[in-house]
Amino acid sequence: VQYYGLKVEVILMILEFYRSEKQRGKAIGISYVNAMAKNWADEGINSITDAEAKLQDIARSDRLWNEIVAITGIRHRRPTAKQREMVDDWFKDFDVAMITLAADIMKENTAEPSLAYVNKILKQWKKNNITSPAQVKAEQEAFEKSKANKKSDKLKSKPSYDLEKVMSDAMNNTD
C-alpha cells in the first residue's frame, strides 16, 4: 500500500491469486507477488474492476499457453513474458486451425519443438495475408513448382566445362 500506492482491495486480490496458484501446485514465490504488485502499479491498476480485468487476462493467457503447449509439444513450463505476448499475438491474428498448421509444419522440419519457428511461419503468413489452410496449401504448391522450375533450368544450362577438352588434356598428359 505504501510502497506501490495500491489500494488494499487490489493487494488482497493479488494475494488471493497467489494463494489459488499455490493450491493448484504452481511453484511461485513471494517475489512473484512483489513483481505483480509493481507491474500493476506501473499499469495503473488501482481498482477492483481493473484488477478483475487483469486477472481475467492472465487466466485467458494461461488457457492460450496451455493450448500452445498441447499443439506444439513443447515441454510444459511457465511462459516468459515475451512468449506470453507472442502467443497472445498469434491468437489475435490467427485461429487455432492456422496455429496448429504452423505447428505441424514446425514439427516436420525441426527435431525439437520451437516457438520461434512457429512464430516465423505465422509472421510470414501475416505478411503475405495468408489466413486459411487452403491459402497455405496454394502457397506451398507454388513454392514447390518454382523450386522444380529452378532445378530444371539448372539441368538445361550449359556446363561450365568442356568435356572434350578435358578428355584430350587427359590423353595428352604424360606426367
pLDDT of residue 32: 84
Stretch 45-65: mean pLDDT, rounded?
91
DSSP for residue 24: T
Grid coordinates of 92: 489475435
Residue whose C-alpha cell reads 533450368 in the numeric block: 153
Q: Considering the entire predicted model, what is its pTM?
A: 0.68
pLDDT of residue 168: 84
Checking phi first, is residue 54 left (phi over 0); if not, alpha (psi -120 to 50) or beta? alpha
pLDDT in tens, 68-82: 998 888 886 778 878
How many CB atoms within 10 Å of residue 95? 12
Q: Tell me if 37 sits within 8 A of 14, measured CB to CB.
A: yes
Query: pLDDT class for 159, splitting at 50, 70, 90?
Result: low
Q: Tell me if 34 sits within 8 A of 41, measured CB to CB.
A: no
pLDDT of residue 27: 79
